Structure 1
């Protein structure tokens, strides 16, 4: 795969990244609780579980992206990608407060959220991304950002609208800030990332970005209640 990635044009290699992003959407659609979230029929407990688990990884998005950007900038390599990582760190700042606000409106205090048990998928997600940010290939974090923003672009806004339409959860009209905001913001983010990544030629960076995209594709559905269908596929 290394040689394949090295020889692909910018358009071709970003198309491979898009395949991983579509794979994440398919995996989420195949997960019972995740599909209920995005079609608006999830129950209160399931929605609270999703928001809490999301809080426990989203709270680290800014330091993960920022640390990766600073490391890459110091190396003097790929200055455009370094700036993109630092920019994205700023874009993610404070998003955990949307989650805390949504959870408060559902009756969950911050203390309850902070003390809630994290799923093993969340621990694996944060562990992997902190490793790549601080010790591994820093550009790898862009693979994580790309597939999650692609998921938000395709499902978050629709999910927020469906939750409001179905209205099965008490006080839901005050509790979709995180989903609705990501649905509105992440379309432009994906387009920008696709443009910048299309100019990336270094095979190590391409491989690292694709690997992180695949790791997240396999981990993310497991933040929901219940077992995710096994869809592991690490090879290109």
Structure 2
């Protein structure tokens, strides 16, 4: 009987997902996201999305480095995981600029532009939370960005490509972070499942905040 109950106990990753389902749904309910999945957005909206993605993705590696530097020696396994993430995330912001160019946009202009306030706020909060609260807060952002991408990116890419008649090379960022990225998702799940209850609580709290912050970026996009 005890063995049966033990098997039914949710894993830390399942607990994380269950604890943040309301915040996740609030993000998915934003009109521009449902429009993208239906392929009902303008080219300007897609380029605007890529522009804001560039402005937060370019901080991913610096944030990973900061996170790794703040992890205690007792959690060396977690620092090693951050190093693996760095190898996987290097250069992704350039993929976005390439996508923008394939859409007919100006990647140099985008790179020189200022982020939307919502994007700047999410990035600033990430740096602040790593330093002020815990380096584990960064994993809340990872869960929000990767979970959203795996759930929606491939479907949205196919719909937008069809409706706007864009080439495949305009979707390298979305497709690479879509449902083909299962290995990355499994790596994150295994990471969360190694955490103590106290560590998991930090990630859950951060995740709730990042869902709201990321949702505000979508709300800032021009709608169809």
Instruction: Tell me which interval the TM-score lies in, with the shorter structure as reference length.
Output: 0.7 to 0.9
Deviation of residue 226 (structure 1)?
4.8
CA offsets, 1:154-207, max 9 Å, x none?
Answer: 11112112222xx2325343311110111155322222222221121151x222
Q: How does 1:7-86 map to 2 (within 5 A)?
A: 11-19=10-18, 22-72=21-71, 75-86=72-83
Is contact 1:157-1:179 (8 Å) kept?
A: yes
Gap runs ≥5 in structure 1: 1-8, 228-236
Deviation of residue 24 (structure 1)?
4.9
1:99 matched residue in structure 2: 96
Give the counterpart of 2:213 among 208, 215, 219: 219
In 1, the alpha carbon distance for the partners of 2:58 and 2:148 equals 18
1:210 matched residue in structure 2: 204
1:113 equivalent to 2:110? Answer yes
Deviation of residue 29 (structure 1)?
2.5
In 2, the alpha carbon distance for the partners of 1:134 and 1:210 equals 17
1:175 equivalent to 2:174? Answer no
Deviates more, 1:26-35 or 1:51-60: 26-35
In 2, the alpha carbon distance for the partners of 1:143 and 1:31 equals 20
Over 3 Å counting, the alpha-carbon distance change for 1:43 and 1:21 in structure 2 is farther
In 1, the alpha carbon distance for the partners of 2:42 and 2:19 equals 29
Q: How does 1:146-165 map to 2 (within 5 A)?
A: 146-164=143-161
Is contact 1:142-1:209 (8 Å) kept?
A: yes
Deviates more, 1:79-88 or 1:95-104: 79-88
Over 3 Å counting, the alpha-carbon distance change for 1:34 and 1:181 in structure 2 is same
1:194 equivalent to 2:193? Answer no
In 2, the alpha carbon distance for the partners of 1:90 and 1:76 equals 21
In 1, the alpha carbon distance for the partners of 2:9 and 2:88 equals 25
Over 3 Å counting, the alpha-carbon distance change for 1:82 and 1:11 in structure 2 is farther
Is contact 1:49-1:224 (8 Å) kept?
A: no
Runs of 4+ aligned residues of structure 1 deviating over 6 Å after TM superposition are none
2:128 matched residue in structure 1: 131
Deviation of residue 23 (structure 1)?
3.9
Q: How many aligned positions are there? A: 214
SS in 1 for 2:164: coil
In 1, the alpha carbon distance for the partners of 2:176 and 2:192 equals 24
